[in-house]
Structure 1
Amino acid sequence: MSDFFAQALVFALDFALACYALALVCAAWRLAIGPSTQDRILALDTLYINGLLIILLLGVRLGSLLYFDIALLIALFGFVGSAALAKFLLRGEVIEA
């Protein structure tokens, strides 16, 4: 019975990985052809979140804790990058003198 649950978990992880990979491709497409700068920034946010989720799923699938540290760094840099881009769009500069 536990073999069934292990196979179901592997199938669910693979299915979720495929769904996030498809979402990653859609976000990259929006980043490339976005009609406005705001659309491109939103696509970039979606891109790093989907990449983060893919790395987390790979960490669960492979049973390695290193992937979780990498995902934490991606989340940190993604948030800082989003804040910097938003500030640049609002004020025209990132670092104020």
Structure 2
Amino acid sequence: MITYATHFAFICFALAILMNLWKIITAGEIADRILALDSMFINALALMILYGIALGSEVYFEASLIIAMLGFVSTVAYARFILRGNIIE
């Protein structure tokens, strides 16, 4: 039963990533693109965790932590660039 649940979750998160890509391409404002990119990081994180559950390996959980940190830092850097025009002061 868990295999059906993981396959269903894979499909749902893959569709969510495709919707995020569509929003990144068609968004009018840069803030919408940044939000779509941030939610795309979260969906990629969920896919990595699901893949780790499916294989029973802890390596993918560690990789998902790295992706989470990268997503947070990039979102903060984009927001700072929009507000101030530079990232490092």
Which TM class, normalised by the smaller chain length?
over 0.9
TM-score (norm 1): 0.89
Counterpart for residue 28 of structure 1: 21
Q: In 2, Cα distance between the equivalents of 1:34 and 1:51?
A: 20
Aligned residue-pair number: 89
Match of 1:90 among 63, 83, 87: 83
Larger radius of gyration: 1
Report the secondary structure of 2:60's partner residue.
Answer: helix
* Offset from partner CA, 1:33-84 (integer Å, 9 cap, x none): 1111011001100111101100100000110111011100000011000001
Task: Kindly indicate whether residue 54 of structure 2 is the aligned counterpart of residue 73 of structure 1.
Answer: no
How big is each residue's C-alpha offset from its partner over 1:10-46, in whole Å with a ceiling of 9 and x where there is no partner?
1011101100000000001101111110110011001
Equivalent residue letter for 2:87: V
Aligned residue identity for 2:14: A
**Structure 1 unpaired stretches of 5+:** 1-7
Structure 2: state its 5+ residue gaps: none
> Helix, strand or coil for the counterpart of 2:87?
coil
Runs of 4+ with >6 A deviation: none
Structure 2-normalised TM-score?
0.97
The counterpart of 1:58, out of the listed 35, 51, 67, is 51
Amino acid of the structure 2 residue aligned with 1:22? L
Task: Give the equivalent residue in structure 2 for 1:3.
Answer: none
Name the CA distance, whole Å, in 2 between partners of 1:87 and 1:38. Answer: 11
